[in-house]
Structure 1
């Protein structure tokens, strides 16, 4: 017999409470499944789960900053190995005021800093590691504290603060006296522990301020170490609003496990307003290149609320009804039982640079303001939060290119979304609470899963953005399909349609001038609600230029974004470019068609529309690949070596995967028509999917003048290539005269045995 929802016991953070009806009392954050619910009941329960207060505050933060700053900033690596000399961390000017001022000007609301990355180096004055931390650094004679500075600056500029503490710790793995995986027994431990008796007597407490909380846990050495550092971070640097746990495991030792249940308990008591990333509150978006899903549903299935709550959930249909009703879910091929329905928010984390850490300013690309603004609209306007990494350089400041891009994106955000062009509208909605900036007040159709209402603006306006918000606080996320119509030439015309809404959904469409819109809810999980509507106009700059080269021929083009900006999709644009490194102006060379650049070089280009000009696109192009001969040590049928130099980014070389699969190393050899002086190369991994197969991580480069005698000329690593498969540039220490170039793949992400490339380019001296 099917039970009505009112008979179900509902788990909340405050205990158990019954649900009276589908639109009355709600479930706060999670529901523990009994196992006998029907698919219909699961969907109904999911439609009644609402966020915890800290999650709602997180939703409202919308656009936040990430800081990666540590030894990797100085070594040029994405992931350190824990064997670095602590003295390598020696910035000459750590200006956290500059960081926060830029973030605030860009419209960001919070900054999250990596106080310990996977290498294990601690950038605050910890009591529990004086050998691989700022205590052992020459920076400020070992007295420096990055987090202390940032905490003060964040408070000064009105930003919230979060901390990233990596569970993985290579220093504790590689150090002979390291705590990670040392096979220590779990024993009763007091947190905070006296560092002088950390292992000999973990029940001895270090001195704390009167009334400060203490904790008791049965844990091994590493978990005790981790919890003591958490305690420091959460009690000595002001209010913490986010704790970030990365799920990466660059190396394991001794079967080490994490006692996340104890970690989370400590966090909930010391920082009750902090959301946990990699825990029950926030989840990874599934990539690190700014990708967003078509729909973000906040309620998903979960195995438990602690140790497995941070599992990577990369599927595009996570939270869909088809997934909610399943008794299990799959993560990287492993099956987990779905024991909970949990409200957890997607965080779109990506970096403004090509990599999480600053490397240099001559190879490392910086994303454009166009890109930042687009990711902002897709994430914040797609029911997620946008976490953008802005890594300081080795001096301790944010670089000029990063500043320029971020501040321009922030200017566009403010210019577009700082003004609601629908302000003062009238509506035929039953409840006229659609413009009071309060998610607790809302419109609902009188009955059923669909309905519509109209809003009339005080005067006609030109609009190309329309935002909707559901009452996720009182009703829940329910809308499955909806559309926006505009009143044009005496009739309704659909201008946009989407599916899920949640906290916020932003519609982007070609500009229309009207004084009336209609919102149609076409389908929902239960009686839907709309709490807020807003209308905006984005005046986009001229479109960015795309630079493409093959066989020495260079083509420049602009690609329309579907008319989502203030310019018409078919507006005539001029493209002007330079080859001498200077900034293109209205007097620079006008692009009239493909031109030759056989020896490669740096092309800078931008588009112009009347007096407006777009962002500059800068690309360093390699020498012409005409006449190249290419071979590989292994190639799957249809994925031969020639695909790596065909000028087509959609095709790629891939080593053999059928039959006997050869292991690393793999080689790709290019024979040039004549000997050339080469300064480096570019590598573009496969672009069709974010999978490790055929991607190169560790590599070396060999050169030859005769194809027989080879000399190693460089070695390196494409860090984070799987999650950020963008083109990488690798420069040699000095140019080398070669006729034969050989790229040797030494390793692939996730230990895969394959290698490959979408495009390889060779850079001239």
Structure 2
């Protein structure tokens, strides 16, 4: 007993001593590194860098919406040129309530809209330009999209933010434009008075500015005083074009924003940074305390930070200032920022969006998802379905805390982020009865103590011993640990490495109900088939993650090769298996719930095949071997204007019963509508074996199979196209398969 008391007192003493040491440095949003600071001192300072009140409130938003809407919606362009006639924005109706209802359903807390993109077209009734909604036929030029959206946000309890592009192609291309017009910096009053359009807000500012900076600040003034509370101002760093060495007076912009919108954070500047990509890719370790060579509070320009590591110890040693600057993980639900169409513009799956949600909000950043309205002023139904499903999963998974009745430190179980436990070793939790979990959420008290944990692990008491279940690096605002489900009544969170005594504010446990994913097939040139959860084809800025695998950690896959329906009693997939000219059926199970069966017919193995001829438009990417490489994302593309045959040596005399043609999906070029299969005894002299025809390829570019009327014996085969879909004058083949009898 005496030994136990001694150890307890020693622990308390060490904890207090450590606490005094780490609090010797006052917490601040930016802390300078002094000349002569040791590495230990730099890390101590980093452990005391904290977010501002506005930054912390922005982090608590977690999941927010982006809306790109403008002339590009109607021209189907990603970037306009500033020369568009405003009437191109041919909007007939607007449904901002529908937007906000879907956004609210998804669990988002704020909407940011592009009130002016790079083309310079404005979506509100600005006093300072005619290049915008006021020059369209929508509501006879009286429409105001921002006004309607602001009203809808209030109705649905959503915060509002505005994206105002510093780049402005209209002000560059217009002969009377203000961007880069070489005007002098003089004292200007913001806002500039416009007869007949007085402001209710009478606050004015005096700034040294040129014509474009005055124009920009006049518009900022309108946005921040006439549309209710603004919680984020979004400055894009992209510039399609510049002129006249135009510079931005950001220090003046900041003063105006901080005065008129005191609750707003500023994206692209010292408050919030870009995550470094537009794909939804997240860093494994996302530190928000990062080094700068200048004081961020005084900087006018902020470079994009795209490196894999920004705030590890070695990064921090190179800085002169340590600053809290959180990341927004931004991407689009569609292939592109603006809506183009419902047929060819793919939409992310609910699996993909939910996976990004967990990786971003559970990886110490904010998830900003773009949903572009269509030309009817609505979110398309597919987008809404995805948002509803994602919101359902978030509520289903994180709406119930499975540690609500647990025993342990009350400071971390009360779900109050303002309370915390100072502990430099471990946290023990127990539940009245065993619980089954596959998610654990951990938060640090960053508002008062900064980011400190560098490495941590979760253990569960299983079979009378501790078993490590998951491990993570930093925590920060929030870390979501994902792992295969486990059942236990005792859990241990170990802090393996930290910059100072950690202040843990919140721990909750959850269960994600896995959806049995559809199975997809792939095969290598040697004929070995691999079965994996279906990965959606999404060709815009790929993030490299496999959402279905990330989410479905408890999935088992079963398959058959004899034509029967697979069940949990069929062959269990554990590794790639060899298949030659056979049909494979596969199904996934999760918690005894059966998914849908998927089937694929495989042709001959191709390791010994050789291309005998075939022209190529681009030898490096579109050469003939791409047609037989077992990869339908590569393809052969003949020379333009040349509808060439492609001949193959199968390596041996083979009895064939059919072939399969997979068209490329990048565009509609070269799809073979009809042709002839020819055979040869020597690969030189050819005779017709059978003709074939495929329909509706352009609208439905999926794999097509043609079975021969009678088996064909040959070692050498040639496909000779006759008609190309859409009267094309070139040939493309993503994959060509021959099926052995």
CA distance 1:567–1:315, change in 2 (3 Å): closer
The residue that corresponds to 1:312 in the other structure is 304
Shift of residue 259, structure 1, vs aligned partner: 1.0
Find the aligned partners of 2:662 and 2:375 in 1 and give their Cα distance. 24
**Alpha-carbon offset, residue 306 of structure 1:** 5.3
Give the aligned partner of residue 361 of structure 1.
342
Q: Retained in 2: the 8 A contact 1:179–1:222?
A: yes
**Paired position in structure 2 for 1:246:** 236
**SS of aligned partner of 1:48:** coil
The equivalent residue for 1:122 is 122
Partner of 1:482, secondary structure, is strand
2:268 pairs, out of 273, 278, 293, with 278
Deviation at 1:38, TM superposition (A): 3.1
Q: Which residue of 1 aligns with 2:96?
A: 96
Once residues 320 and 384 of structure 1 are traced to their aligned partners in structure 2, the CA distance between those partners, rounded to angstroms, is: 16
Structure 1, residues 530-553: CA drift from partner, whole Å, max 9, x if none? 1110000001111244366999x9
Matching of residue 152 in structure 1 with residue 130 in structure 2: no
**Aligned counterpart, 1:4:** none
Is the Cα contact below 8 Å between 1:117 and 1:169 reproduced in 2? yes
Q: Is this contact kept in 1: 2:628–2:735, CA < 8 A?
A: no
Residue of 401, 405, 416 corresponding to 1:424: 405
Q: Does 1:375 align with 2:356?
A: yes
Please say if residues 251 and 300 of structure 2, whose CA atoms lie closer than 8 Å, have aligned partners that are also in contact. no
Q: What is the Cα deviation at residue 209 of structure 1?
A: 2.4
Question: Structure 1 residues 630 and 84 mapped into 2: Cα distance closer, same or farther (>3 Å)?
Answer: farther
Instruction: Say if 1:416 and 1:141 are closer, same or farther in 2 by CA, change over 3 A.
Output: same
Q: Please state how far the C-alpha of 1:92 moved relative to its aligned partner.
A: 2.2
1:624-683 Cα shifts (integer Å, max 9, x gaps): 999783535675xxx784686565769989xxxxxxxxxxxxx999864289xx999634
Q: Which residue of 1 aligns with 2:714?
A: none
Query: What is the CA-CA distance between 1:42 and the residue it aligns to?
Result: 2.0
Tell me if 1:443 matches 2:418. Answer: no
Taking the aligned partners of 1:33 and 1:306, their CA distance within structure 2 comes to: 16
Provide the rounded CA distance (Å) in 2 between the counterparts of 1:702 and 1:109.
Answer: 46
Q: Is the 8 A contact 1:633 1:668 kept in 2?
A: no
Q: 2: distance between equivalents of 1:367 and 1:459? A: 39
Distance 1:195 1:309, change over 3 A: same
Say if 1:78 and 1:355, in contact at 8 Å, map to a contact too.
yes
**Displacement, 1:340?**
2.5
Name 2:509's counterpart in structure 1: 535
Match of 1:582 in 2: none
3-state SS of 1:28 partner: coil
Q: In the TM superposition, what is the alpha-carbon distance from 1:413 to its structure 2 partner?
A: 0.8
* Corresponding residue for residue 645 of structure 2: 673
Gaps of 5+ in 1: 1-18, 197-204, 328-338, 578-591, 598-604, 654-666, 685-699, 706-727, 743-758
Q: What is residue 495 of structure 1 aligned with on the other side?
A: 469
CA distance in 2, matches of 1:410, 1:489: 36
Match of 1:136 in 2: 135
Match of 2:504, SS state, is coil
Alignment partner, residue 113 of structure 2: 113
Correspondence for 1:264 among 254, 260, 283 = 254
Q: Report if aligned partners of 1:682, 1:761 keep a CA contact under 8 Å in 2.
A: no
Within 1, Cα distance between the matches of 2:69 and 2:101? Answer: 18
Deviation at 1:426, TM superposition (A): 0.8
Cα 1:651/1:340, change in 2 over 3 Å: farther
CA contact (8 A) 1:464 1:564 kept: no
Change in Cα spacing, 1:96 to 1:593, as seen in structure 2 (3 Å) is farther
d(CA) in 2 for partners of 1:398, 1:606: 33
Contact preservation (8 Å) 1:90, 1:138:
yes
Residue 754 of structure 1 is matched in structure 2 by: none
Cross-structure match for 1:682: 665
1:71-109: CA deviation from partner (whole Å, max 9, x where unpaired): 111111111111111101122221000000111111111
Choose which of 504, 509, 514 in structure 1 pairs with 2:483.
509
Q: Does 1:462 align with 2:425?
A: no
Q: Answer with 1 or 2: which has the greater Rg.
A: 2
Q: CA deviation at 1:124?
A: 0.7
Gap change, CA 1:83 and 1:539, over 3 Å in 2: same
Q: Hey, what does 1:601 align to over in structure 2?
A: none
Could you report, residue by residue, the CA deviation over 1:233-267 in whole angstroms, capped at 9, with x for unpaired residues?
Answer: 11000000011111001111111111111111111
The CA distance in 1 between the partners of 2:138 and 2:502, in whole Å, is 56
Q: For residues 436 and 593 of structure 1, do their structure 2 counterparts lie closer, same or farther at Cα, with a shift above 3 Å needed?
A: same
Conserved? CA contact 1:510–1:565, under 8 Å: no
Aligned pair in 2 of structure 1 residues 501, 679: CA closer, same or farther (>3 Å)?
closer
When structure 1 is superposed on structure 2, of 216-225 and 31-40 the one drifting more is: 31-40
| TM-score normalised by L of structure 2 | 0.75
| 1:324 matched to 2:316 | yes
User: 3-state DSSP class of the match of 1:404?
Assistant: helix
Q: Which whole-Å deviations, capped at 9, do the CAs of 1:172-194 have from their partners, x for residues lacking one?
A: 11111111111111111110012
1:12 maps to none
* Deviation, structure 1 residue 593: 11
Name the CA distance, whole Å, in 1 between partners of 2:97 and 2:280: 27
Contact 1:485 1:519 in 2 (8 A): yes
Go from structure 1 to structure 2 and tell me whether the alpha carbon gap of 1:32 and 1:75 turns closer, same or farther (over 3 Å shift): same
Give the corresponding residue for 2:10: none
Kindly indicate whether the alpha-carbon contact (under 8 Å) linking 1:630 and 1:668 is maintained by their aligned counterparts in 2. Answer: no
Could you tell me which residue of structure 1 aligns to residue 365 of structure 2? 384
Equivalent pair of 2:339/2:373 in contact (CA under 8 Å): yes
Of 631, 656, 661, 2:616 maps to 631
Number of the residue aligned with 1:230: 220
Quick check: 1:434 aligned with 2:417? no
Equivalent residues in 2 for 1:680-759, closer than 5 Å: 682-683=665-666, 735-740=725-730
**Residues 1:276 and 1:561: Cα distance change in structure 2 (over 3 Å):** closer
Change (3 A) 1:563 1:165: closer
Q: State the secondary structure of the residue aligned to 1:530.
A: strand
Offset, 1:459: 1.9
Corresponding residue number in structure 2 for 1:201: none
Name the stretch that deviates more: 172-181 or 146-155.
172-181
Query: Are residues 468 and 649 of structure 1, via their aligned partners in 2, closer, same or farther at CA, if it must alter by over 3 Å?
Result: farther
- The structure richer in helix per residue is 2
Q: How many residues align?
A: 619
Change (3 A) 1:317 1:618: farther
- SS of 2:395's partner is helix
- Structure 1: how far apart are the matches of 2:700 and 2:251? 43
**Change beyond 3 A, Cα 1:554–1:70:** farther
Conserved in 1, the CA contact under 8 Å of 2:415 and 2:507?
no
Deviation at 1:572, TM superposition (A): 3.9
Query: In the alignment, is residue 192 of structure 1 matched against residue 200 of structure 2?
Result: no
| Residue matched to 1:73 | 73
Would the aligned equivalents of 2:49 and 2:450 in 1 still touch at CA under 8 Å? yes
Aligned partners of 2:329 and 2:211: how far apart in 1? Answer: 33
Q: Which residue of 1 is the match for residue 709 of structure 2?
A: none
- RMSD between aligned alpha carbons? 4.1
The corresponding residue for 1:43 is 43
CA distance in 2, matches of 1:557, 1:237: 53
State the alpha-carbon separation in 2 of the partners of residues 170 and 549 from structure 1.
49
Q: CA deviation at 1:480?
A: 0.6
Q: What does the per-residue CA deviation read over 1:275-327, in whole Å, with 9 as the maximum and x for residues that have no partner?
A: 11101111111111110000111111233335455321011111111111114
Judged with a 3 Å threshold, the aligned counterparts in structure 2 of structure 1 residues 453 and 263 are, in CA distance, closer, same or farther, namely: same
